[in-house]
């Protein structure tokens, strides 16, 4: 089978009919006439042919004159005044009623015709009878032009440029509502060299081809002998959207999977947290600069919760008063706030009697800070944090953990560890990774101060770590603005990989 | 985190060594004091100090002193000369309830030019803001020593009884007027407003030095290029903070070549002398060094590294090292604070990393597992997951009984969502120009109140916005979900503001209300500018466990 046979076998009935009508550049209207298809069918066939580069559809703006409904009616019956004048030419001086009958005019047509001819001075009315006069006879000759025009338009719209000789008639007919003149996108169908080849090759218009596979077709077994029409598999299909994860959530899930594969167990805690868990248990002094109302969101009602029965509060109070030398306020510690750091979840885990030692834990949690919103700041954001507990832990293991994060999470070989500062760890270290262009801070870590762990009943070293991961999502999805994490654009969500 | 700007040349001179003018290379050096190089522009060097507990580092001489140690240019305890003067500051007992503490110092033969004055103001500002907690715990005042007639008096006075010309002004104001009219009075007035009397510093000629912690007088409290000798005082509500501030400012001036003299603070029969440059003694257990760092360091090794970090070594015993902690190191609370400095001076890049050896099993919490299962089922339905904020406008919620934020940023986003439905309807309302059908779901926390306090629940919302969406559509979704979760459920008629009455059902699992579904009322659609039928379900995942 050669290429042309393949193409012919892929042509739909509409396409074959349209193509066969194109022995020369042809308008849609003409193609409709030749093929006997409806205009929609011709358009579809033409579009498909054009997709296959068998024809080109030349779109041109044209001013087209065509008959209105009234125009068509008039064409079949003649213009009322012409009918009236013709009738008078046969038999002059007729009464109104007689003319109506002889010229076949209804009341409306008669009134119009009478008004027009009288005004133009084509007739005279004498003693209730209508009489044609010379001017009317001359006019009748002239009117052949109008008839001619209607005849020209009989077979569909015609380009106004082709009607230059009818200029005045066209104007009058338009004013009378018999002809309409419109700007139209006229489509002209022209075969390409491939189309010409196909026409030469033959379109096998009578060849039976199977179309859609349906139950009837399957049962009918016609497919045993009849070929299926070949589809153009490159044709565009309408867009449809199916279900999937939100892209950022999907990214978070993959991070969680990674953490699990590294042996970390997930921990969780509430969004609305007690200041005790968010700050005090972490040995942040109650007058710490990062504990002001510009740094954390507080809750209006209920503003605080009872800490009765919490056996850790007094121990934390004691260590604060010893170390920071300021009075520890139980009112402050029992205040509700929106969690400002996921370390609160680590604090909760350390207070959990089921904590495993040795153990590795992580949490990805929503945190809140009253930040001004811009491309890199949101008052609502996620943090990835965790703890590692073990009797043998020291700074070397801390560095080993960070090396693992650099290699496994950031996937880089070049990284550096520099001294850092966090109020609850000592020593503290920052992890910076080389992006190929510059150093970027990926995370921070340290060994919890004993002022943190001891009051919570933990007597082994605890590594606390946190990693920034939003940047990774931004790189993966080529976005510059972290507000995109919460995109409200369904189009973006649909089209972006999950 | 304090940021400071210094002259690169001056910084280099203070360290006594040529420094690289490349950001990353300079950072390799400044990291010894947890200092990041933000920018080098010409001679202007911008530094960011990470440690909020090291006010001694918030100026160029403090950083340089530590780096001289790290670079082996000058190690061990830095000693400053302190001459005892006969100058006296008398503290009146009536400041006790207002602003009880004061410390002072004298610096002679200071060399002030524009740059040096700027640096001093920068140091003063950083100390007042961060260390002094916006002048509450401590606030610094600096004066032209030669104009002051000693003794100086610190007392509380009736705000209307005293007037003086505040710094930068040309006319006198009384203390009350200063709080109302002077920019610093407006900014810091809250610190003393509540008291009947305000703190005041005057000299023996009855000239006002300042109204601490608000503003200096224009007469005595102005330091210029002409000033030769200065008087420094720090007042505050926290004695440690006050003393630290006066020590840091005077040692800063000493580093800049000034001669420091002490002042006697007399309070009744008690006299203390400030500043105080004496180190404190710390017994460091070397086993803690080995334990925390995992490095085999002898007592001597540790001692040597401590000296690089500018500690003094008094004696090395069998188990402990007797360390002299410099007066400016108020951050030392535990052996491990010294251990970290030993580690830093050993060099983080010289410490080999070690892989964790303990075998641990990873896993997700039961909540996450259930949430993931429900999210996967929703995806299977052909719905697109969305993510909305947990904060919202109270106005936009159907149920106005919600957890409100006490200090929202501006008017909006003042509450926490108590249902997902309004959030997701709002999402759809932003997508009316996009193709339908729009089928979305969201799973995540909502916040509620009850008598125990704030309650957090995970919810699931599924919304179908499409031309043919009706009660059948959403009921099919609910049944499919429940069947796949192996849950038996009942439904009852329900009234919810968002739904058409008679076309809304409440779901009960094990007899407990677990959510609702139905057809959204056109009046609600109109509120969200939606012109397409929407059906929705909201499930409380907690009740599906």
Task: Tell which of B224, B254, B274 closes a domain.
Answer: B274
Q: How far is A393 from chain B (nearest CA, A)?
A: 8
Question: Residue B503: left if φ>0, alpha if ψ -120 to 50, beta else—which one?
Answer: alpha
> CA-CA distance, A255 to A384, in Å (whole number)?
9
Q: Are B80 and B254 in contact (CB under 8 A)?
A: yes
Residue window 412-431, chain A: list those with CB within 8 Å of chain B: 416-421, 423, 426-430
Q: Number of structural domains, chain B? A: 4
Closest alpha carbon to A488 in B469, B412, B523, B432: B432
| Lowest mean pLDDT segment, chosen from A368-382, B227-241, B354-368 | A368-382
CB distance A423 to A282 below 8 Å: yes
Kindly list the structural domains of chain A, giving each domain's residue range(s) and its CATH number in brackets, ordered by start: 3-61+183-217 (1.10.10.10), 69-180 (1.10.10.10), 249-271+340-495 (3.30.930.10)
Rounded to whole angstroms, the Cα distance separating B533 from B439 reads 12
- E strands, A75-170, are 94-95, 123-126, 129-132, 158-159
* Joined tokens for residue B301: 């090794």
Which helix (H) or strand (E) element contains residue B191?
none
Q: Where are the alpha helices (DSSP H) in A285-418?
A: 313-323, 330-333, 343-351, 395-408
Q: Which residue's entry shows tokens 């001459």?
A: B83
CA distance B498 to B474: 15
Contact A298 B405 (CB under 8 A): yes
Q: Which domain holds residue B187?
A: 88-274
Tell whether B382 is within 8 A of chain A (Cβ).
yes
Angle at A265 between CA A261 and CA A266, to 5 degrees: 110
CA-CA distance, A219 to A216, in Å (whole number)?
Answer: 5
Same domain flag for B384 and B466 = yes
Mean pLDDT of B298-316: 96
Q: List chain B residues with CB under 8 Å of A267.
A: 365
Rounded-to-5 percentages of helix, strand, coil across chain A: 45, 20, 35
Q: What is the pTM of this model?
A: 0.80
| Cα angle value B382/B385/B387 (rounded, 5°) | 170
- Would you call B276 helix, strand, or coil by DSSP? coil
CB contact under 8 A, B427 and A419: no
Tokens 């832990």 sit at which residue?
A: A393
Phi-psi region of B31 (alpha: psi -120 to 50; beta: other; left: phi over 0): alpha
Structural tokens at position A274: 């007690």
State how far the Cα of A58 lies from the Cα of A246, in Å rounded to an integer. Answer: 44
Beta carbons within 8 Å of B28's beta carbon, 6+ residues apart: none
CATH code, B384: 3.30.930.10
What sign has the CA pseudo-torsion A343, A346, A350, A356? negative
CATH number of the CATH domain containing B222: 3.50.40.10
Kindly report the average pLDDT of chain B as a whole number: 95
Domain co-membership, B288 together with B257: no
Classified as helix, coil or strand, B455 is strand
In this prediction the ipTM stands at 0.91
Q: Are A27 and A40 in contact (CB under 8 A)?
A: no
Q: Which residues are paired to B202 by β-bridges?
A: B153, B208
Contact (CB<8Å) A263/B360: yes
Flag whether B60 is in a domain.
yes
Query: Which of A269, A379, A421 should be substituted to probe chain B, the one whose Cβ sees the most B Cβ atoms within 10 Å?
Result: A421
Do residues B239 and B372 both lie within one domain?
A: no
How many Cβ atoms from other residues are within 10 Å of residue B450's Cβ? Answer: 8
Return the CA Rg of chain A. Answer: 44
Contact A437, A361 (CB under 8 A): no
Give the model's pLDDT for residue A115.
Answer: 85
- Residues with pLDDT less than 50, chain A: none
- In Å, what is the CA distance from B419 to each residue of A158, B299, B387, B423, B456? 64, 62, 13, 8, 11
User: What's the alpha-carbon Rg for chain B, to the nearest Å?
Assistant: 33
A365-386: b or e for each residue (b if 16 or more CB lie within 10 Å)? Answer: bbbbbbeeeeeeebbbbbbbbb
What span, in angstroms and rounded, lies between the C-alpha atoms of B417 and B446?
5
Name which of A246, A325, A372 to mutate to probe chain B: the one with the most chain B Cβ atoms within 10 A of its Cβ.
A246
Distance from CA of B138 to the nearest CA of A (A): 13
Q: Is A261 an 8 Å CB contact of chain B?
A: yes
Q: Based on the fold, state whether residues B8 and B105 are members of the same structural domain.
A: no
Contact yes or no for A264 and B449 at CB 8 A: no
CATH value at residue B294: 3.30.56.10
The pLDDT tens digits for B40-80 are 999 999 999 999 889 999 999 999 999 999 999 999 999 99
> In this structure, is residue B446 part of a structural domain?
yes
Structural tokens at position B203 = 């000299």
pLDDT beyond 90 at B344: yes
Judgement on whether residues B107 and B214 belong to the same structural domain of the protein = yes
- Chains A and B form CB pairs within 8 A to the count of 243
Residue with tokens 């009984």: B401
Cβ distance B406 to A239 less than 8 Å, yes or no, reads no
| Rounded Cα–Cα distance for residues A465 and A281 (Å) | 16
Residue B505 has phi, psi (to 5 degrees) of: -120, 145
User: Which of A197, A373, A220 minimizes the C-alpha distance to B413?
Assistant: A373
Q: Which of B321, B350, B379 is where one domain is finished?
A: B350
Chain A residues within an 8 Å CB radius of B454: 270, 272, 299, 302, 305, 336
Answer yes or no: do B135 and B196 share one domain: yes
CA angle centred on A360, ends A358 and A364, rounded to 5°: 155
Interface test mutation site (partner B, options A392, A419, A428, A498, max chain B beta carbons within 10 A): A419
Beta strands in B333-416 (DSSP E): 384-385, 391-392, 415-416
Quick one: B410 and B396 in the same domain? yes
pLDDT at B131: 92
Q: Where a domain ends, among B219, B247, B274?
A: B274
CB atoms < 10 A from the CB of B201, how many? 27
Contact B229, B146 (CB under 8 A): yes
What's the whole-number mean pLDDT along residues B390-410?
94
| A353, B362 Cβ separation under 8 angstroms | no
Identify the three-state secondary structure at position B129: helix
B298 and B411 in a single domain? The answer is no
pLDDT tens digit string along B443-488? Answer: 999 999 988 899 999 999 999 999 999 999 999 999 999 999 999 9
CB atoms within 10 A of CB A10: 17
Average pLDDT over residues B219-224: 90
Q: Which of B240, B311, B318 is nearest to B282 (CA)?
A: B311
Are A265 and B51 within 8 A, CB to CB?
A: no
Question: B364 touching A, CB under 8 A?
Answer: yes
Q: What is the mean pLDDT of residues B194-211?
A: 95
Residue A416 CA, distance from chain mean position: 43
Interface mutation target, options A299, A374, A460, chain B, most CBs of B under 10 Å: A299
Residue B15 in any domain: the answer is: yes
Q: Is A239–B435 a contact, with Cβ atoms under 8 angstroms apart? A: yes
Please indicate if any CB of chain B lies within 8 Å of the CB of A152.
Answer: no
Question: What phi and psi, each to the nearest 5 degrees, are found at residue A347?
Answer: -60, -45
Same domain (yes/no): B435, B521: yes
**DSSP per-residue string spanning A123-147:** EEEETTEEEE-HHHHHHHHHTHHHH
Vertex A207 angle, CA A201 and A211, to 5°: 115
Q: Are residues B117 and B254 in the same domain?
A: yes
- Is B356 part of a structural domain of the chain? no
Instruction: Report the sign of the C-alpha dihedral through residues A245, A250, A254, A257, in that order.
Output: negative
Tally Cβ neighbours within 10 Å of residue A355: 19
B65 lies in the same domain as B92: no
Q: CA B331, B333, B335, B340 torsion: positive or negative?
A: negative
Burial class of residue A219 (count of CB atoms within 10 Å of its CB; 0-12, 13-18, 19+): exposed
The secondary structure of B247-301 as a DSSP string is HHHHHHHHHTTPEEEEEEEEETTEEEEE---PPEEEEEEHHHHHHHH-----HHH
Q: Which of A271, A289, A306 sits opposite B133 (nearest CB)?
A: A289
Residue B361, in any domain of the structure: no
**What are B482-501's pLDDT values in tens digits?**
999 999 999 999 999 999 99
- Residue B110: which residues within 8 A CB-CB, separation 6 or more? B116, B227, B228, B229, B230, B253, B256, B257, B258
**Contact by Cβ (8 Å): B322, B313:** yes
Residue B75 lies in a domain: no
- Any residues with CB less than 8 A from the CB of A495 and at least 6 apart, and which? none
pLDDT in tens, B425-435: 999 999 999 99
Q: What angle do CA A51, A54, A57 make, to 5 degrees?
A: 65
Interface subset of A 460-489, CB within 8 angstroms of B:
461, 485-489
pLDDT on residue A249:
96
Q: Do A268 and B368 make contact, defined as CB atoms within 8 angstroms?
A: yes
DSSP A286: T
Query: Mutating which of B29, B454, B477 best tests the A interface, going by the most A Cβ atoms within 10 A?
Result: B454
- Put simply, the chain B residues between 76 and 95 with a CB less than 8 A from any chain A CB are none
Largest CA-CA distance found in chain A, in angstroms, rounded: 131
DSSP, collapsed to helix, strand or coil, labels residue B311 as coil
B355 touching A (Cβ < 8 Å) = yes
d(CA A348, CA A273): 10
Confidence (pLDDT) at A158: 78
If asked whether residues B294 and B252 sit together in one domain, one would say: no
């Amino acid at each position: 089978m050669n290429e042309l046979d393949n193409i012919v076998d892929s042509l739909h009935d509409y396409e074959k009919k349209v193509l066969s009508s194109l022995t020369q550049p042809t308008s849609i209207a003409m193609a409709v006439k030749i093929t006997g298809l409806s205009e929609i069918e011709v358009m579809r066939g033409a579009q498909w042919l054009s997709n296959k580069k068998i024809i080109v559809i030349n779109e041109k703006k044209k001013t087209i004159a065509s008959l209105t409904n009234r125009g068509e009616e008039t064409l079949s019956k003649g213009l009322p005044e012409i009918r009236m004048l013709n009738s008078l030419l046969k038999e002059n001086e007729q009464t109104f009623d007689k003319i109506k009958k002889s010229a076949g005019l209804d009341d409306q047509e008669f009134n119009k015709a009478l008004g027009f001819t009288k005004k133009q001075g084509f007739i005279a009315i004498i003693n209730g009878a209508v009489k044609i006069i010379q001017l009317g006879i001359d006019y009748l000759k002239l009117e052949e032009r109008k008839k001619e025009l209607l005849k020209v338009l009989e077979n569909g719209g015609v380009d106004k440029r082709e009607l230059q000789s009818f200029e005045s008639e066209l104007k009058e007919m338009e004013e009378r509502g018999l002809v309409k003149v419109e700007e139209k996108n006229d489509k002209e169908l022209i075969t390409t060299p491939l189309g010409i080849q196909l026409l030469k090759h033959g379109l096998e218009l009578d060849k039976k081809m199977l179309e859609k596979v349906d139950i009837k077709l399957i049962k009918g077994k016609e497919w045993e002998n009849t070929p299926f029409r070949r589809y153009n598999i490159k044709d565009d299909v309408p867009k449809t959207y199916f279900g999937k994860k939100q892209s950022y959530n999907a990214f978070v899930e993959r991070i969680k999977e990674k953490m699990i594969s590294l042996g970390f167990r997930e921990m969780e805690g509430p969004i609305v947290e007690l200041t005790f868990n968010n700050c005090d248990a972490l040995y942040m002094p109650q007058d710490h600069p990062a504990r002001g109302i510009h740094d954390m969101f507080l809750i209006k009602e209920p503003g605080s919760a009872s800490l009765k029965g919490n056996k850790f509060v007094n121990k934390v109070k004691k260590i604060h008063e010893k170390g920071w030398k300021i009075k520890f306020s139980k009112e402050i510690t029992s205040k509700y706030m929106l969690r400002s750091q996921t370390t609160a979840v680590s604090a909760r885990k350390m207070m959990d009697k089921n904590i495993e030692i040795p153990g590795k834990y992580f949490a990805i949690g929503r945190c809140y800070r009253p930040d001004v919103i811009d491309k890199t700041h949101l008052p609502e954001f996620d943090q990835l944090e965790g703890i590692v507990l073990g009797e043998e832990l020291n700074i070397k293991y801390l560095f080993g953990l960070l090396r693992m994060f650099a290699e496994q999470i950031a996937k880089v070989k070049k990284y550096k560890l520099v001294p850092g500062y966090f109020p609850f760890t000592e020593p503290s270290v920052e992890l910076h990774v080389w992006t190929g262009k510059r150093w970027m801070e990926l995370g921070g870590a340290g060994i919890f101060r004993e002022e943190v762990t001891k009051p919570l009943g933990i007597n082994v070293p605890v590594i606390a770590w946190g990693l920034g991961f939003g940047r990774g999502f931004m790189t993966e999805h080529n976005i510059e603005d972290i507000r995109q994490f919460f995109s409200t654009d369904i189009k973006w969500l649909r089209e972006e990989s999950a | 985190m304090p940021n400071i700007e210094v002259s690169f040349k001056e910084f280099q001179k203070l360290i006594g060594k040529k420094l690289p003018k490349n950001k990353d290379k300079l950072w390799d050096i400044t990291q010894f004091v947890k200092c990041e190089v933000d920018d080098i522009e010409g001679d202007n060097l911008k530094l960011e100090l990470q440690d909020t507990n090291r006010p001694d580092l918030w100026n160029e001489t403090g950083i340089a002193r530590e780096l001289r140690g790290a670079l082996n240019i000058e190690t061990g305890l830095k000693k400053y000369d302190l001459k005892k003067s006969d100058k006296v500051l008398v503290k009146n007992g009536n400041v006790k309830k207002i602003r009880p503490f004061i410390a002072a110092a004298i610096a002679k033969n200071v060399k002030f030019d524009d740059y040096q004055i700027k640096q001093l103001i920068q140091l003063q500002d950083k100390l007042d803001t961060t260390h002094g907690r916006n002048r509450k715990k401590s606030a610094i005042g600096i004066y032209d020593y030669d104009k002051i007639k000693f003794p100086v008096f610190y007392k509380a006075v009736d705000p209307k009884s005293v007037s003086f010309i505040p710094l930068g002004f040309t006319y006198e104001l009384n203390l009350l007027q200063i709080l109302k009219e002077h920019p610093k009075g407006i900014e810091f007035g809250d610190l003393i407003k509540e008291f009947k009397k305000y703190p005041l510093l005057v000299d023996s000629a009855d000239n006002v030095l300042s109204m601490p912690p608000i503003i200096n007088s224009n007469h005595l409290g102005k330091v210029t290029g002409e000033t030769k000798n200065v008087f420094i005082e720090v007042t505050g509500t926290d004695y440690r903070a006050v003393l630290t501030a006066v020590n840091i400012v005077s040692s800063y001036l000493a580093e800049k070549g000034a001669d420091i003299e002490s002042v006697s603070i007399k309070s009744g029969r008690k006299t203390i002398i400030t500043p105080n440059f004496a180190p404190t003694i710390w017994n460091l257990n070397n086993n803690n060094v080995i334990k925390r760092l995992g490095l085999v360091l002898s007592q001597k090794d540790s001692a040597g590294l401590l000296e690089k970090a500018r500690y003094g070594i008094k004696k090395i015993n069998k188990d402990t090292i007797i360390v002299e902690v410099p007066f400016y190191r108020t951050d030392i609370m535990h052996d491990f604070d010294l251990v970290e400095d030993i580690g830093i001076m050993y060099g983080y890049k010289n410490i080999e990393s070690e892989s964790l050896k303990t075998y641990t099993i990873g896993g997700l919490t039961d909540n996450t597992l259930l949430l993931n299962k429900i999210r996967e089922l929703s995806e299977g339905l052909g719905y697109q997951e969305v993510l909305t904020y947990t904060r919202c406008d109270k106005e936009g919620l159907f149920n106005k009984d919600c957890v409100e934020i006490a200090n929202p940023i501006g008017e909006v986003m003042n509450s926490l969502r108590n249902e997902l439905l309004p959030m997701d309807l709002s999402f759809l309302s932003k997508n009316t120009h996009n193709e339908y059908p729009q089928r979305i779901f969201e799973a995540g926390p909502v916040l509620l109140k009850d008598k125990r306090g704030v309650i957090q629940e995970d919810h699931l919302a599924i919304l179908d916005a499409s031309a043919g969406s009706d009660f059948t559509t959403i009921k099919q979704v609910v049944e499919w979900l429940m069947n796949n979760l192996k849950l038996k459920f009942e439904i009852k008629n329900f009234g919810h503001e968002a739904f058409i009455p008679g076309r809304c059902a409440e779901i009960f699992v094990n007899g407990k209300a677990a959510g609702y579904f139905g057809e959204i009322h056109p009046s609600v659609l109109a509120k969200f500018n939606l012109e397409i039928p929407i059906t929705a379900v909201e499930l409380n995942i907690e009740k599906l466990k």
